[in-house]
A and B are shown apart, each in its own frame.
Chain A
Amino acid sequence: MDLGSISLVAFFASLMVASTPILLAALGEMITERAGVLNLGVEGMMIIGAICGFAVAVESGSAAMGFIGAAVGGALLSMLFALLTQFLYATQVPSGLALTLVGVGLASFIGQPYVGESPPAVAKMAIPVLEHIPFFGPAVFQHDAMVYISILLTIAIWAFLKFTRGGLILRAVGENHDAAHALGYKVRLVRVMAIGFGGALAGLGGAYISLIRVPQWTDGITAGIGWIALAIVVFASWKPGRVLFGAYLFGGLTALQLNLQAANVPLLLVLPYLVMLSGVIYLAIAVAAGSWKKTLDVKPTLKTFAQFIGTGLVLLLIGVLTNYASSLDLLLLSSAPFVATIVVLVVISARSKGASNGPAMLGKIFQAH
Chain B
Amino acid sequence: MFKKILATTALAVGLAGAAFADDKTKVGFVYVGPINDGGWTQGHDHGRLELEKHFGDKVETVFVENVPEGPDAERVMTQMALTGTDIIFTTSFGFMDPTLNVAAKFPDVKFEHATGYKSAENVATYSARFYEGRAIQGTIAGRMTKSNIIGYIGSVPIPEVVRGINSAYIHAKKVNPDVEFKVIWIYEWMNPAKEADAAKALLEQGADVILQHTDSTAPLAAAKEAGAIGFGQASDMYDFAPAPRVSSIIDNWAPYYIERTQAVMDGTWETVNTWDGISTGMVGIGEITDAVPADVKAEALALKDAIVAGTYHPFTGPLNKQDGTPFLAEGEVADDGTLAGMNFYVEGLTGDVPQ
Seen from chain A, the residues whose Cβ lies within 8 Å of a Cβ on chain B are 5-7, 10-11, 14, 18, 108, 112, 115-116, 118, 209, 213-216, 218-223, 225, 254-255, 258-259, 261-264, 326-327, 330, 334
Contact A215 B221 (CB under 8 A): yes
Contact A221 B192 (CB under 8 A): yes
Given A116-B38, A261-B184, A327-B355, the answer on whether A223 and B194 have CB atoms closer than 8 Å is: yes
Contact A115 B36 (CB under 8 A): yes
Chain B interface extent, by class = 35 or more
Decide if B183 is an interface residue (CB 8 Å cutoff): yes
Contact B193 A213 (CB under 8 A): yes
Interface CB pairs A-B, < 8 A, 14? A14-B197, A108-B34, A209-B192, A213-B193, A214-B193, A215-B221, A218-B38, A218-B216, A219-B34, A223-B193, A225-B193, A258-B197, A262-B182, A326-B354
Contact A7 B192 (CB under 8 A): no
Contact A258 B198 (CB under 8 A): yes
Q: Given known contacts A6-B205, A326-B352, A330-B185, what 6 new A-B pairs fall within 8 Å (CB)?
A: A218-B36, A223-B192, A258-B197, A259-B204, A261-B185, A326-B355
Contact A264 B204 (CB under 8 A): no
Alpha-carbon gap, A213 to B201, bound state (A): 13
- Determine which of A213, A216, A330 lies in contact with B217 in the assembled complex, contact meaning CB atoms within 8 Å: A216
Seen from chain B, the residues whose Cβ lies within 8 Å of a Cβ on chain A are 33-34, 36-38, 66, 151, 182-188, 190-194, 196-198, 200-202, 204-207, 216-218, 221, 239, 350-352, 354-355
Q: Which residue of A lies closest to B238 (CB)?
A: A116
Contact A216 B193 (CB under 8 A): no
- Determine which of A10, A218, A219, A262 lies in contact with B184 in the assembled complex, contact meaning CB atoms within 8 Å: A262
Q: Which residues on the B side are within 8 Å of A209 (C-beta)?
A: 192-193
- Determine which of B187, B190, B197, B201 lies in contact with A220 in the assembled complex, contact meaning CB atoms within 8 Å: B190
Write the nearest CB–CB distance from B230 to chain A, whole angstroms. 14
Contact B354 A327 (CB under 8 A): yes
Q: Which residue of A lies closest to B349 (CB)?
A: A264
Q: Which residue of A lies closest to B65 (CB)?
A: A219
Write the nearest CB–CB distance from B147 to chain A, whole angstroms. 11
Alpha-carbon gap, A341 to B354, bound state (A): 24
Q: Which residues on the B side are within 8 Å of A213 (C-beta)?
A: 193, 196-197
Alpha-carbon gap, A215 to B351, bound state (A): 30
Q: Which residues on the B side are within 8 Å of A263 (C-beta)?
A: 182, 205
Alpha-carbon gap, A221 to B193, bound state (A): 7
Contact A14 B193 (CB under 8 A): no
Contact B205 A115 (CB under 8 A): no
Write the nearest CB–CB distance from A248 to chain B, whole angstroms. 15
Given A7-B205, A264-B351, the answer on whether A218 and B37 have CB atoms closer than 8 Å is: yes
Q: Which residues on the B side are within 8 Å of A18 (C-beta)?
A: 197
Q: Which residues on the B side are within 8 Å of A334 (C-beta)?
A: 185, 187
- Determine which of B36, B188, B190, B350 lies in contact with A264 in the assembled complex, contact meaning CB atoms within 8 Å: B350
Given A5-B205, A116-B239, A254-B197, the answer on whether A218 and B183 have CB atoms closer than 8 Å is: no
Q: Which residues on the B side are within 8 Å of A222 (C-beta)?
A: 193
Write the nearest CB–CB distance from A204 to chain B, whole angstroms. 15
Q: Which residues on the A side are within 8 Å of B206 (C-beta)?
A: 5
Alpha-carbon gap, A107 to B201, bound state (A): 28
Given A261-B183, A262-B202, the answer on whether A214 and B34 have CB atoms closer than 8 Å is: no
Q: Which residues on the A side are within 8 Å of B37 (C-beta)?
A: 218-219
Contact A115 B66 (CB under 8 A): no
Write the nearest CB–CB distance from A298 to chain B, whole angstroms. 41
Q: Which residues on the A side are within 8 Å of B350 (C-beta)?
A: 264
Q: Which residues on the A side are within 8 Å of B205 (C-beta)?
A: 5-7, 259, 262-263
Alpha-carbon gap, A255 to B198, bound state (A): 8
Alpha-carbon gap, A326 to B350, bound state (A): 12
Q: Which residues on the A side are within 8 Å of B198 (C-beta)?
A: 258, 262
Write the nearest CB–CB distance from B236 to chain A, whole angstroms. 11
Alpha-carbon gap, A214 to B224, bound state (A): 11
Alpha-carbon gap, A261 to B152, bound state (A): 11
Contact A218 B34 (CB under 8 A): yes
Given A219-B34, A264-B351, A326-B354, the answer on whether A214 and B204 have CB atoms closer than 8 Å is: no
Alpha-carbon gap, A262 to B206, bound state (A): 10
Write the nearest CB–CB distance from B125 to chain A, whole angstroms. 27
Contact A14 B187 (CB under 8 A): no
Write the nearest CB–CB distance from A179 to chain B, whole angstroms. 42
Given A112-B36, A214-B192, the answer on whether A258 and B184 have CB atoms closer than 8 Å is: yes
Alpha-carbon gap, A10 to B34, bound state (A): 32
Q: Which residues on the B side are within 8 Å of A259 (C-beta)?
A: 201, 204-205
Q: Which residues on the A side are within 8 Å of B352 (C-beta)?
A: 326, 330
Given A219-B36, A264-B350, the answer on whether A7 and B204 have CB atoms closer than 8 Å is: yes
- Most chain B C-beta atoms within 10 Å of own C-beta, residue among A18, A258, A262, A327: A262
Write the nearest CB–CB distance from B47 to chain A, whole angstroms. 18
Q: Which residues on the A side are within 8 Å of B197 (C-beta)?
A: 14, 18, 213, 254-255, 258
Contact A14 B185 (CB under 8 A): no
Alpha-carbon gap, A136 to B185, bound state (A): 30
Q: Which residues on the A side are within 8 Å of B217 (C-beta)?
A: 116, 216, 218
Alpha-carbon gap, A201 to B343, bound state (A): 44
Alpha-carbon gap, A334 to B185, bound state (A): 9
Write the nearest CB–CB distance from B211 to chain A, whole angstroms. 13
Given A214-B221, A261-B184, the answer on whether A255 and B354 have CB atoms closer than 8 Å is: no
Q: Which residue of A lies closest to B194 (CB)?
A: A223
Given A219-B37, A220-B66, A264-B351, the answer on whether A14 and B184 have CB atoms closer than 8 Å is: no
Listed from nearest, the 10 A-B pairs whose CB atoms lie closest are: A219-B34, A326-B352, A10-B204, A258-B201, A330-B354, A261-B184, A223-B191, A116-B239, A262-B182, A214-B196
